[in-house]
Structure 1
Amino acid sequence: MEINERISQYRQDIKSDRVDMSFGEIINMYKDDEIIISPEYQRAFRWDLQRQTDFIESILLGIPFPSIFVATNADGTWELIDGLQRISTVLSFFGELKNPEKNHLTLRSGSIVPELEDITIDTLPLDLKLAIKRTPCRVEIIQKDSHFEMRYELFKRLNTGGEGLTRQEIRNCIFRGFENYRYFSDIITACSSNEDFREIVNISSEIQEKMMYEELFLRFFSLHAFRVSYTEKVIQDFFDKIMKKQCETPDKEIIARAAQIFTEICSYLRPLGYEIFKLARLNFSTSMFDAILLSLSTTTKDYKSIAQDTFKARVDLLREDDAFKRNAGAASSNASAINNKLIIARRILLDDTE
């Protein structure tokens, strides 16, 4: 296909429009559930107080700011794609944000206007309050008849900034519209909330907020159940494919069985502590995570009969194995490296050479 033809094809896949709206109109649409900030997206509101203050100050001073992007849903509502930090800041300042923990913004000293210190919506002079509500905001609208893959690609590209969403947060936003989204999503939520799992994967609250636990279960599920179909150059694209498929037409028996296996493995590993996933300077290594969980989930041997102190000693041997370390390097998430690590882990951890 010629380059001009290819570009023309993809341009036709994107149907867009634009409109200028005041922040007051956007606030009212949000209150009436006409513009949607999904729960998964709301929790990614991460600007600190100073950045929020600076944005309110910019509006008051008439400093230009970028457009926001929304996607039109089948029912005509808008789904926020890009602009979360800006829109959430205004909603929080006006006390309208539906996340109570991040609502009712109190400003700090502005970078230009220090008098903003401790100002709230109730103490801001009326003329300035009205000035914010009447400030126009350019809204770029991705129409509902745009091709799904292009909408998803837009979502990924528009969320690449310092406060952008992680790939798992994007998945939880973009796949919400699928008919069977809730079935697979509920399994991910249940397994990622498993107490044993959270004990052995000890991550910071900041990373936790970015849906790291959820992505780790998706990682396990994808590699456990569909590793043979992993052909993508980037493993995150593989996870996209698996989640899309399971949100469209879930393989319910495979999902249920994988969830049960995952739960049993986490229960067995819990007494060993989160140190089992350390590798070199990393407190948590996906190479160790893949090797340990996949070796246990795919073996025909009864791993539960192995004494846990014995298993932990074997984990130490795996960590120091030269062949394993070579496959745990920069390209550790490609299909070949994952398969090699699994073979090595089965041999060392389980004396399994199948």
Structure 2
Amino acid sequence: MITSGEIAIILRALQNHTALEHDYLKEIVEKQWDEERGYLAALSSCFEKGLVEKSGAFLKLSNEGISWIQENNAEFSVEKDLEHSGDGGAQPTKPYDVAKLKMETKPLSVFQALRKIERAEIDLSPEFQRAFVWDELKQSRLIESMIIKIPLPAFYIDATTAVRWIVVDGLQRLTTLYRYCRLQDFALSGLQFLTELNGKKFDELPPEYKVAIEDDTQLMFYNLMPGTPPLAKYTIFSRVNTGGMQLTPQEIRHALNQGPCTELLRRMAKSPEFLSATQGVVESLRMSDRELILRALAFTLNDYSSYREHGDMESFLVHAMNQINALSEMEIKNLEQEFYSNIGKVRKIFGIYSFRKYYMKGGRRSPLNKALFEVWTVTVKGFNSSLIEQKKDAIVTEFLSAMNTDDRFVRSISASTGTYSAVEKRFKATTNILEKAFNA
């Protein structure tokens, strides 16, 4: 028997996105699923009720599905269980050397761009953007704009590797062109000016319109070339990240730092150890889980005092991703295992209150706190599990004392957590908590 709660999990996963690939929807849903529950049975029920429909290779909410969510909103609302305390913005505060910036302007016709896609020289399915798909009305209006000679915005590309271009801004437009002109996944609909073309796929267009799209339309690509500093890449793509579904800072970092680090974060975010320690509450769709892990790894690799050199969390995390990409396979394995060991120690101390603010034993449990996750994961690493087990009650007592008496500590995990003074305060305070507990 499929319950309304199970249906709600599927519909919620689709709610904030025009469409999702089946496999990705399954991946999102199963993180919230008990083993005995059947994802396929629940999805089948959604189809039977007309709540979900197919759009080519994608699944999306139907109008009935949207109405269902609105009608059941109060009963099945999802708690946001990750506290966003603010790191001071997504832009690095220290400038990069402009002389080292290497950018190339490259105009291509639509035909040339599509040929690069067919040759796998342009990646249309990067992991960080795979869930973002325009609906067919928006795609149709883009095609119409090209036919009536409305210029398209520029495309921004990470071309710092020789293998293929990574599209950081403009993926929706390129995907639309490929779907319409090559895959012919949809027919035009909802056109404002060329209404006679409604219902037509690319091969059904008059020849002059095909020429207008493929040959006459010039696309402008701004390519960041090899040799561009990582921080420069991050800053530029953060500033041009202005689309309807803007990338999160971690999605941009992920796009620009492909390698062992991105694979490590992907693996760790799905690990039983991480999901258990965080009770599975950290959003995976926009990579909040990977950013949380990266913060802890960054402070594991670098003493908090080195944070002053970077000046902000964004620069610090970009630096950490480059560090991890340069590690050996064995070093990465050791880093991963140390992380699992450390979050296990924290879980042993605090149980369901792990990485959360609270002020009394048995008190209200606040959302999971990024700053506490990073600082506890790092500061427990020097203590073995048996000693942690012996002293866990004393650690909790000292932590609650700090939460109730040390206003600066509470501020350091609550607001402007990305300043050096906040970082320094919480690391010193947490270290002091452990020292007091072990000396009690």
Q: What's the CA shift for 1:278?
A: 5.3
Matched, 1:215 2:291: yes
Match of 1:144 among 225, 228, 233: 225
- Given residue 263 of structure 1, which amino acid in structure 2 is its aligned partner? Y
Contact 1:276 1:312 in 2 (8 A): no
Gaps of 5+ in 1: 1-6, 97-102
Q: Equivalents in 2 of 1:111, 1:308: separation in Å?
A: 67
State the TM-score, normalized to the length of structure 2.
Answer: 0.61
When the two chains are superposed, the root-mean-square deviation of aligned CA atoms in Å is 4.1
State the TM-score, normalized to the length of structure 1.
Answer: 0.73
- Given residue 84 of structure 1, which amino acid in structure 2 is its aligned partner? L
Q: What's the CA shift for 1:141?
A: 4.0
1:116-175: CA deviation from partner (whole Å, max 9, x where unpaired): 88x574796455566544451322343635534444443333225452332322233222
Q: What's the CA shift for 1:235?
A: 0.8
- Given residue 136 of structure 1, which amino acid in structure 2 is its aligned partner? T
Q: Structure 1 residues 139 and 88 mapped into 2: Cα distance closer, same or farther (>3 Å)? A: same
Question: Secondary structure of 2:368's partner?
Answer: coil
- Given residue 305 of structure 1, which amino acid in structure 2 is its aligned partner? E
Matched, 1:336 2:421: yes
- Given residue 163 of structure 1, which amino acid in structure 2 is its aligned partner? M
Percent identity for Structure 1 against Structure 2: 21
Tell me the residue number matched to 2:337: 260
Q: Equivalents in 2 of 1:208, 1:230: separation in Å?
A: 26
Match of 1:17 among 102, 105, 117: 105
Match of 1:345 among 430, 433, 436: 430
1:94-117: CA deviation from partner (whole Å, max 9, x where unpaired): 564xxxxxx945766457778888
Q: Structure 1 residues 145 and 308 mapped into 2: Cα distance closer, same or farther (>3 Å)? A: closer
Q: What's the CA shift for 1:52?
A: 3.7
Tell me the residue number matched to 2:245: 163
Q: Equivalents in 1 of 2:100, 2:159: separation in Å?
A: 17
Alignment of 1:1-354 (within 5 A): 10=98, 13-22=101-110, 24-37=111-124, 39-43=126-130, 45-47=132-134, 51-73=138-160, 75=162, 77-94=164-181, 96=183, 104=185, 109=190, 119=199, 121=201, 125=205, 131-134=212-215, 136-142=217-223, 144=225, 147-149=228-230, 150-176=232-258, 181-182=259-260, 184-199=261-276, 200=278, 202-203=280-281, 207-227=283-303, 228-231=305-308, 232-247=310-325, 249-250=326-327, 255-268=332-345, 269=347, 272-273=351-352, 276-277=355-356, 283-299=367-383, 302=386, 304-306=388-390, 319-323=403-407, 324-348=409-433, 351-352=437-438
Task: Say how many residue pairs are matched.
Answer: 331
Q: Equivalents in 1 of 2:248, 2:394: separation in Å?
A: 37
- Given residue 144 of structure 1, which amino acid in structure 2 is its aligned partner? M
Greater shift, 37-46 or 336-345, is seen at 37-46
Tell me the residue number matched to 2:13: none
Gaps of 5+ in 2: 1-94, 359-363
1:234-259: CA deviation from partner (whole Å, max 9, x where unpaired): 11110111211332x31666543332
Q: Equivalents in 2 of 1:218, 1:250: separation in Å?
A: 15
Tell me the residue number matched to 2:84: none
Tell me the residue number matched to 2:88: none
Contact 1:194 1:263 in 2 (8 A): no
More helix by percentage = 1
1:65-114: CA deviation from partner (whole Å, max 9, x where unpaired): 21213344554753324211211222334564xxxxxx945766457778
- Given residue 426 of structure 2, which amino acid in structure 1 is its aligned partner? K
Q: What's the CA shift for 1:221?
A: 0.7
